[in-house]
Each structure stands twice: as structure tokens, then as C-alpha cells.
Amino acid sequence: MIQLVNTIANLVLLVFCLWAVLNKRLDTQVFGTVALSLVAITSFVNITRPDVFGFWAEQSEVLSNVAVAILAVWFFLRWRKCNCEDEQ
């Protein structure tokens, strides 16, 4: 059951990240595009692992953590930009 929940969650992440990166109306800039792409890649690896990707399937959690960290920095910078422009 937990594997099914994990697969569905990774599928939702994959679809969302692909939509966000490919949508021309979302201005993700470089950091956002890279981070969302990394999340999409790790979600894909998590769905298709462990047989297909071998070594990379084991490293997907590390890559996912890096992608989430990049997304956090990107989100903070975007939030700061929006909030600081209102004050000036």
C-alpha cells in the first residue's frame, strides 16, 4: 500500500513539474527551472526504479534533496523580491 502511495505521489510531482517548466506563463527563471527539472527527474527515477536505473536509483533521494533545497532558495528569493518591491 505504501508503495502505491509513493508511486502516486511521485507521478503527481512529475506531472506538476513538467507542467510548471513547460508552461510559458510561469516565469520560473534559471533556478526554478533547474530545481523543477531535478524534481521531475528524481520523481521519474523513483517511479521506474530499481531495475531500470541501477546506481542512479539509489542516488535519487540525494538528488531530490538538492532539488528541494534549490527550490527553497528560489522561493525565498522570489518572495523577498515581491515583498521588498512593495515597501519601496
For residue range 21-52, what is the model confidence (pLDDT) as tens digits? 888 887 878 878 888 888 888 888 878 876 66
Whether residue 80 is predicted with pLDDT greater than 80 in this model: the reply is: no
User: Is the pTM above the cut of 0.85?
Assistant: no
Closest of 28, 31, 13, 41 to residue 69, by C-alpha: 31
Whether the CB-CB separation of 31 and 77 falls below 8 Å is answered with yes
CA atoms within 13 A on the CB side of 60: 21
